[in-house]
Structure 1
Amino acid sequence: MWSIGELAEHAGVTVKTVRFYSDRGLLPEAARSAGGHRRYGPEALDRLRMIRSLRTLDLPVPDVGRVLDSEDALEDAIAGQLRELGSQLAALRWREAALQLLQDCTPEERAERLLLVGAMTTPPDTAPMARFWRYWLPARLPARLVSAILERAVPEPLTDPEPAHVLAFARMHALVTGSCEGNGRPRSEAHRPDGDYRPAVLYEGLIEAFALASPDLQAGRPPSEGDALDAFVDAHARACGARDTPAFRHRLGIMLAAEPRIDRYWQLKAELSSPSSEPTPGAAHDWLHAALDAQLACRVAA
């Protein structure tokens, strides 16, 4: 049997360290001396070395206890540490990119950018973007449809951002958390829930139309007639309880007014996407709107 001092000497640690782990139940004593002093067997040395190895990996003391009691707990503890380390590294990369953004800009830009960057967390929190869309979207949309829209609309923070990504995210954060003029829901007439308007029909149809337009957008083709435009117009017509007629297309061209706040959001979302990413719904909407305008112009000219 070893005394607490002898165990500390064999392990190359202080008596205080041995007492700390003993008091927390990680290092059970084998016996007590006649004077009430702790005594440890040789197996305590191996256990103490294991404790120190786990603590070197920054495992919290409760996790160390679980690993010592069950070998299966080690895998979960390692996975948890890797997740935490990944979050810390992501935060450091975002902080580095933010500092580079401030370092590389002109003195005139620095004050504004400092306020923008300082208003968001690193890595950025996407909850404000999700709240923005939940507020802007019609209240009667099914939950599955809202989830599908949020999946396309809310950007995921990049793991290795560039300074330009930090600026785009900061501007998006400022956009969605800033005050909204008017009624707070700046929609064009085509998206307002008036009368017999059925928002679920519209947004489901728009998802289909955007998917049909995506190949043309990715190929860089100019806006034109086709299945994508027909699906786009049909979605608006069915949502309003109308039919797709030349008269309706003319009226729809007037109804599709610009929505500056939403347009700006999609511009920033595109800046956060890789060049190979699928076009944003905003880009698809603009392409289809331009295709409708071109068709209407041709009919007037004819």
Structure 2
Amino acid sequence: MNGATPLYSIGELSARTGVPIRTVRFYSDTGLLPPADRTPAGYRRYGDAALGRLRLIGVLRELDVGLATIRRVLDGDLSVAEVAAAHADATALQIRALRLRHGLLRLVARRGPSPEETVLMHRLTRLTADERRRMVADFVTGLGAGTQRARSAAAVVRTALPELPDEPSDAQLAAWVELAELIADDDFRARVVDAAFPPADEDALPGVAPGQAAELVPFVRGAVAEARAAGVDPEDARAVPVVDAVAGRFATVLGRPDGPELREWMAGRFEAGHDPLVERYWRLVWTVNDWQVVPGHLPFQPWMVRALRRPGRVSPSRR
């Protein structure tokens, strides 16, 4: 026996590798672990090469590689590197799916939806990227059917389409679900068409002559954007000069005295020209796309309404 290669029984292979005897026998029966020899009584014996094969099989199985693929590796048809690369890609997909599932579970836990809503949320989060794009494209196409106003609204919406990333944050996932529910609503499509979009500034002040609105709205929009950029809260005293400037411009353009009546009328016009649900749509798009909110792109009307109706405000006639 001097210099002879040692041979191992199935039990000895199991002891050396930690692989259960039944598993070693199964691998041998399927041809993944062929014996090097047999005893006169027919018992299988394995050489040192079998130890290496068995350890490799164990690692690949732990990494969830199938037996058919393992056979190709052992036969030399595939390299371990090729298998690792393919399974790394597959594992990445599984991880993304698990993260999405985790995010959906947290979303359902927070929102407490009905069973029907839960099913809908699950379907919306499982859509592929292409399915999500088709859903958004159908919304825009349906939006632009009909009048010139509808086509203009579709053109504006088309400038910023939502794109949910492969690995969304909880906030992005929640925003996508809410956004998908909105764009599937025919009533919401009608509201988008009726919403005010620049440069149609007259739409932001319904009931005001187009020529006057075209002069007033850019001024208000700019004043509010500057106030927001400076961190001015509409109910803070620092908003008073902004309100005074806007009210003064309205009084001049409309030929009306500045006072409580004019300012309440202005607040009513600003409310009529703003749709909070359409604003919500744009905020959801920004969240899904992980875009920074630019103050100048926010609707100016809500800020002005709060500033005009600020608690404890002093009438201009009493200063």
TM-score normalised according to structure 2 size: 0.47
TM-score normalised according to structure 1 size: 0.49
- Over alpha carbons, which structure has the higher Rg? 2
